[in-house]
Amino acid sequence: MIVDIPKTNNPRIVVIGGGFAGIQLTKMLKNEDVQIVMLDKNNFHTFIPLLYQVATAGLEPDSIAFPLRKIFKGQTNFLFRMAEVFNIKPEIKCVETSIGDITYDYLVIATGSKSNFYGLKDFQANAIPMKSLVEALNLRSFILQKFEKALLTNDVKEREHLMSVVVVGGGPTGVEIAGALAELKNHILANDYPELDTRKMQIHLIELLPRLMASMSNESSEKSQLFLKQLGVNIWLDTGVKSYDGLNVCLTSGKIIQAYTVIWSAGVMGATIPGVNGNTLLKGDRIKVDSFSKVAGYENIFAIGDVAGMISDKFPDGHPMLAPVAVQQGEHLAKNILNLIHKKELQPFVYKNPGAMATVGRNRAVVDLQYFKFQGMFAWFIWVFVHLMKLVSFRNRLVVFVNWVWNYFSYDRGIRLIIKPLGK
């Protein structure tokens, strides 16, 4: 069944994914003679860098999400269809979706990434990932649910296991959520649950590499480790995980940590779609593309953002899976698609690194720029400003700003709601 999309004499560009890459590409084509059909299984865009704040009751979910149709309100060459894409059929220029088949002249795969469990099936079954708004809400509910259960037991050890949290992965996401959990423990949960000795709540951060946030500078890595220790986080470096049965986390060192809550932030992989040549898949399930973002072996199929693996001398494993890369690739591909339509020469993509940053709680952050590095309160203010400006709408910026100001002065997080008990 072919989906009834309004017919057009202009080239049809089907964009799969409403993340940073897909949104930027679509915005850049706003006034062009093309028809853009965006497909996404959700009808909203999620600001992924702040997911951990939803998970730790710092922000409401709608403050980091925005309806896709509203983002492109008034863009006459744009159509959105909420659908899940099952398969790509390059031979007939068509994508198979949950609402039927949709034809294209140009196809852009901007599906982002998903959690990579590296074959550890028990972690996949029992740990909680945090790559979507639903997962962040589930995590928030799960943590609070365990505290409610801790009130009902007289077993001291069981209480400690119910309250404790293990974070697997010491990259920016793992560091940020560990810091946020430590602040939740120190300032919120002790007041919410006076019958519990929250000092028994242990927060463990496990990292396979010899230092945290290996993608950042040594100074930022060391400072983030110091900040976490000041907050009371237990850090395990040069340590991997072997198994997890829902309570016992077995480490490669032989140690066993007991906790009912394990958060997986140890890695991501491309969220690929069947249909393109299997030879185009690289390490981490990223789709191999050339410097013009073309999928290897195809002239009218492109991939951008986390799912794309653009190999070069500078980036032998592809570009980092970060929002700035996705935004720049979306903007660049929009220009190249127009060049293709108008039979002009394509231009290779060159990534301009704006730097990296991470927050480790209130007044604690690390920022790496090209020529400068900051740590501490000044870095935290930079982090706050940059993330506010990157949010999609003025409403989102205002809501997040008000929440952050309130949390800053009151040490309170008012969204401690159990929305969806998981039953684990």
SS3 label, residue 115: strand
Residuewise pLDDT in 10s, the chain (424 residues): 777 899 999 999 999 999 999 999 999 999 999 999 999 999 999 999 999 999 999 899 999 999 999 999 999 999 999 999 999 999 999 999 999 999 999 999 999 999 999 999 999 999 999 999 999 999 999 999 999 999 999 999 999 999 999 999 999 999 999 999 999 999 999 999 999 999 999 999 999 999 999 999 999 999 999 999 999 999 999 999 999 999 999 999 999 999 999 999 999 999 999 998 767 789 899 999 999 999 999 999 999 999 999 999 999 999 999 999 999 999 999 999 999 999 999 999 999 999 999 999 899 999 999 889 999 999 999 999 999 999 988 989 999 999 899 888 887 776 788 886 554 4
SS3 label, residue 101: strand
Distance, in Å, from the CA atom of 241 to the CA atom of 118, rounded to the nearest integer, reads 11
pLDDT digits (tens, 9 = 90+) for 219-230: 999 999 999 999
CATH number of the structural domain 121-266: 3.50.50.100
Q: Is the dihedral of CA 270, 274, 275, 277 positive or negative?
A: positive
**172 to 73, 277, 278, 285, 389: CA distances (angstroms):** 34, 33, 31, 21, 19
Residues 6+ apart with CB under 8 A from 399: 60, 62, 63
Residue range(s) occupied by CATH 3.50.50.60 in the chain: 12-41+83-115+268-341
CATH number of the structural domain 12-41+83-115+268-341: 3.50.50.60
Residue with tokens 């220029």: 93
- The model's pTM is 0.92
CB 206 within 8 A of CB 239: yes
pLDDT at 170: 96
Residues 6+ apart with CB under 8 A from 250: 241, 242, 243, 244, 256
Phi, psi of 402 (to 5 degrees): -60, -45
**106 to 34, 67, 231, 329: CA distances (angstroms):** 10, 24, 50, 16
Distance, in Å, from the CA atom of 414 to the CA atom of 67, rounded to the nearest integer, reads 24
Residue range(s) occupied by CATH 3.50.50.100 in the chain: 121-266
**67 to 100, 393, 409: CA distances (angstroms):** 23, 10, 31
CB 137 within 8 A of CB 128: no
